[in-house]
Amino acid sequence: MTIKVGDKIPSVTLQQKTADGVSPVTTDELFKGKRVVLFAVPGAFTPTCSAKHLPSFVQHAADLKGKGVDSIACVSVNDAFVMDAWGKAQSADGKVAMLADGSAHFAKALGLDLDLMDKGLGMRSQRYAMVVKDGTVEKLFVEAPGKYEVSSAEYVMSQL
């Protein structure tokens, strides 16, 4: 079943690269007591994700925070090292937390996983953005296959 507005985010552990190595980040700690914009991409360093999706949130991080967002996070079915390198390449440090869902556990728990095995890409996440307030989905914007319209920072800001 796909997550919907009003649902609680499932408890899942993601990974994040820090100066001390790879650290676990639970969804409980990520969302507790905060309003967070979380967006997911099918893959780090992929064309639309690198040219448009992540850059939109890096560019508009301050604008989103000005609209009452405490933090912004990007999640992808990649490992923490890839997510860290991609974040550095996109100047996301201090603006967007780069989170790894390497085995797609979070994507599956949300019901937003995407099977791209026939294309040699394995299990991935659908492209989406959501606003989560204290662990509950406040707004959810899931893209149609192959689209990039409703999950951009600009669209999310227009809905806040």
Q: Indicate the residue type of 22.
A: V
Measured over the CA atoms of residue 85, residue 101, residue 117 and residue 8, the dihedral's sign is negative
Question: Position of tokens 């099918």?
Answer: 42
Q: For residue 136, give the H/E element and its range.
A: strand 136-142
Is 49 one of the catalytic residues? yes
Choose, from 9, 12, 49, 97, the residue flagged as catalytic.
Answer: 49
Question: Position of tokens 């319209």?
Answer: 149
Which among 25, 22, 23, 116 has a CA at the least distance from the CA of 77? 116
Catalytic residues: 49
